[in-house]
Chains A and B, each alone.
Chain A
């Protein structure tokens, strides 16, 4: 149903020789839908953000509280037992909290995805059924996806920037510019993990434990084995693949390079960015296809 997105396609067809011009009521309908054709995604995002306000305090407290807890626990607590440095910048070893902060920030953004691109999607199709209300309006399924992603990006931006600021306050940034760049990498990680998850969630008719399984069997192992707390190279070789398929590892490596200039080759930088962008693009296309298939059956 791609023609749904091209307002003039059918009109040109209608205006073909022999066919008559659109009637008054048709012209009226065409005018009425014009704004939604252009800005539909924003209307969806507007609704979603309004809904997020109902649990706004958890977003707020989680957004600020979680970095505080992690940085205090790992950066001050755990770090005091570590004799061997794990992270190195161009000028030698960096403090443990500096090493771990970019990975924790990316994890926080991914955490937003594991909520917003799972239960929220099931709610939209099944529990609250609000996607079906959107579907009956002039919105196209693609715009529903765009709007959802926009709203989640907004929440992710808040969480990532809050994290960045707390990290900066802990003095755990290698470079001051990283307070701006780390949240961007975090959001990229969040979307690289989140958009394929969105496509998956939209394909489910029912949640019979799949989301809990994602949390336990995908998110948690990824968090533990993606070079989050120590370099991937510290793990035995047969576990390295987890890092390679994990958006968290790629984002952490990018973040460390941006924050304190951890040494990474140009090739590896391209690989990290490439993997993240491919996951975003692939997830995006798949999510759109799933929504269109489901809403236009």
Chain B
């Protein structure tokens, strides 16, 4: 579906995307995970044929975005980071008007609009103006709109940023259904849980470069331990305690608010902590996540 080789985008001296390679296969659900400013959106814009690359190769649906922008865009569905629904039109009309951009006959647009409203659980809102929708509903409508042309690839840029937890879960459920139907998904996120939920394969990007790629579980296996112990001693005492704790796990990370100890057995680490006579104010044993992978790869948290 998508092949990028040495893909680069420069804005003046700044390389927003700095020579990245990746491939996306049909039916795959592919994620770009990285903090804000990592170059995720710029990559999406180049794949979406609305931004020309500075150098490197890029093929989308076997076409070059430089020469076949409209052709590529006609087979993509795009869910942008910021909603751009027409707030002055009614919900259903938004879908129809958008479908027309693709040259889809009005009657077909209307038929698909009804199906998509059902899919997005917005049937009752069909005649409502977009302004009256909640944030989560707007996102679902944006996703429905992106599906009006029955796209080969659905591209989602930070699909759940700014939504409350419940709305996120509803959205994930919808996206998961699309994935089950075999829709190719390409999404960017800075939420590790989102990447874990939705992606078969992830590339971790930072400062325009790819740090690692693989499935969520293989990335965790490769770059982290099975479990993590999180300890809080209070911001002043964390660093001091860490010196004593260093021997306990495979690796230790000292963050401003807590100490992370990476080990395969978290409970036994906790016992050792107690034996050392240290008394954290809170302690927690959890599974490793992509957040830990990112921390290991870049020395920074995803969300800062």
Contacts and interface: CB of A to CB of B under 8 A. Distances in A.
Interface of A: 1, 3-4, 7, 9-10, 13, 22-23, 25-26, 28-30, 32-37, 39-40, 43-44, 46-47, 50-51, 54, 128-130, 132-140, 295-297
B101 A134 contact: yes
13 contacts: A1-B66, A1-B69, A28-B61, A29-B68, A32-B75, A33-B70, A47-B97, A50-B89, A128-B86, A128-B88, A138-B69, A140-B69, A140-B70
Minimum-distance CB pairs A-B, first 6: A35-B103, A10-B67, A129-B84, A137-B101, A136-B78, A33-B74
B241 interface: no
B209 interface: no
A1 B101 contact: no
Given A25-B61, A29-B61, A46 B50 contact: no
A44 B102 CA distance: 11
Contact of B73 (A1, A39, A138): A138
A139 B70 contact: yes
A291 to B, nearest CB: 12
B119 interface: no
B62 to A, nearest CB: 4
B144 to A, nearest CB: 13
Band of interface residues on B: 35 or more
Chief secondary structure at chain B's binding surface: loop
B16 to A, nearest CB: 11
Contacts of A1: 52, 66, 69
A29 B2 CA distance: 14
Contact of B48 (A4, A28, A129, A136): A136
Contact of B101 (A34, A132, A138, A295): A138
Contact of A26 (B50, B61, B80, B103): B61
Contact of B71 (A33, A128, A135, A297): A33
Contact of A46 (B71, B72, B73, B100): B100
B103 A129 contact: no
Contact of B103 (A25, A43, A136, A297): A43
A296 B86 CA distance: 21
Given A34-B103, A50-B97, A51-B88, A26 B69 contact: no
Interface string B85-108: 111110001000110111100000
